[in-house]
Amino acid sequence: MSELILIPGETTLAQLERVWREGLAVRLADSARPGIAASAARIEAAANGDVPVYGVNTGFGKLASIKIASKDTATLQRNLILSHCCGVGEPVELETVRLIMVLKLLSLGRGASGVRPEVIALIEAMLARGVLPVIPSQGSVGASGDLAPLAHMAAAMLGEGRATYDGREMPAAEALAAAGLAPVVLAAKEGLALINGTQVSTAFALAGLFDAFASARAALVTSSLSTDAIMGSTAPFLDEIHTLRGHRGQIVAARTIRALMEGSEIRESHRIGDTRVQDPYCIRCQPQVTGACIDLLTQVGRTLEIEANAATDNPLVLVGADRIVSGGNFHAEPVAFAADQIALAIAEIGAISQRRIALMVDPALSHDLPPFLTPDPGLNSGLMIAEVTSAALMSENKHLATPCSTDSTPTSANQEDHVSMAAHGARRLRRMNANLAHILGIEALCASAGVEFRAPLKTSGPLQKVIATLRATIPALDQDRYMAPDLAEAARLIHDGTLVAAVPADLLADLLAEVTA
pLDDT at 166: 94
Average pLDDT over residues 21-25: 90
pTM of the predicted model as reported, rounded to 2 decimal places:
0.95
Are residues 147 and 215 part of one domain? no
Count how many domains the chain has.
2
Cβ-in-10-Å burial (0-12, 13-18, 19+) of 517 comes to exposed
Planar angle of CA 287, 290, 294, nearest 5 degrees: 115
Are residues 209 and 184 part of one domain? no
Using the 3D structure, point to which of 139, 174, 196 is the last residue of a domain: 196
337 is a domain residue: no
Are residues 37 and 140 part of one domain? yes
Among candidates 45, 51, 5, which has minimal Cα distance to 24?
A: 5
436 is a domain residue: yes
CATH number at residue 177: 1.10.275.10
Task: Work out the number of other CB atoms within 10 angstroms of the CB of residue 3.
Answer: 12
pLDDT at 512: 54
Are residues 217 and 170 part of one domain? no
Are residues 211 and 180 part of one domain? no
Which DSSP letter does residue 23 get? -
pLDDT at 274: 60
pLDDT, tens digit (0-9, with 9 covering 90-100), for 86-126? 999 999 999 999 999 999 999 999 999 999 999 999 999 99
pLDDT at 238: 95
- Of the given ranges (129-143, 291-305, 387-401, 404-418), which has the lowest mean pLDDT? 404-418
Q: What one-letter code names the amino acid at 298? A: T
Average pLDDT over residues 452-467: 97
120 is a domain residue: yes
The span from the CA of 396 to the CA of 385, in Å, is: 16
The span from the CA of 217 to the CA of 214, in Å, is: 5
CATH number at residue 498: 1.20.200.10
pLDDT at 451: 98
Are residues 82 and 44 part of one domain? yes
Average pLDDT over residues 347-375: 95
Are residues 354 and 265 part of one domain? yes
300 is a domain residue: yes
pLDDT, tens digit (0-9, with 9 covering 90-100), for 185-195? 999 999 999 99
pLDDT class of 313 with cuts at 50, 70, 90: very high
pLDDT at 51: 83
Are residues 434 and 388 part of one domain? yes
pLDDT at 275: 60
Cβ-in-10-Å burial (0-12, 13-18, 19+) of 53 comes to buried
* Residues taking part in catalysis: 54
Are residues 352 and 294 part of one domain? yes
Are residues 262 and 120 part of one domain? no
pLDDT, tens digit (0-9, with 9 covering 90-100), for 42-101? 999 988 888 888 878 777 766 767 777 778 888 989 999 999 999 999 999 999 999 999
pLDDT class of 515 with cuts at 50, 70, 90: very low
211 is a domain residue: yes
Planar angle of CA 260, 265, 266, nearest 5 degrees: 85
317 is a domain residue: no
Average pLDDT over residues 218-247: 96
pLDDT at 513: 65
Q: What is the mean pLDDT of the chain?
A: 93
332 is a domain residue: no
Are residues 217 and 184 part of one domain? no
Is residue 179's pLDDT more than 80? yes
pLDDT at 517: 57
Are residues 209 and 150 part of one domain? no
What percent of the chain stands above pLDDT 70? 96
β-strand pairing of 88-91 with 168-171 = unpaired
The span from the CA of 321 to the CA of 323, in Å, is: 5
Is residue 464's pLDDT more than 50? yes
DSSP per position, 149-207: HHHHHHHHHTT-SEEEETTEEEEHHHHHHHTT--PPPP-TTHHHHHHSSSHHHHHHHHH
pLDDT at 135: 98
Using the 3D structure, point to which of 165, 196, 227 is the last residue of a domain: 196
Q: Which domain holds residue 283?
A: 205-310+343-413+421-516
The span from the CA of 291 to the CA of 293, in Å, is: 5
The span from the CA of 203 to the CA of 221, in Å, is: 28
Using the 3D structure, point to which of 149, 172, 196 is the last residue of a domain: 196
The span from the CA of 489 to the CA of 441, in Å, is: 8
330 is a domain residue: no
Is residue 11's pLDDT more than 70? yes
pLDDT at 1: 56
Say if residue 183 is preceded by a cis peptide, omega within 30 of 0.
no
Is residue 184's pLDDT more than 90? yes
β-strand pairing of 323-325 with 316-318 = antiparallel
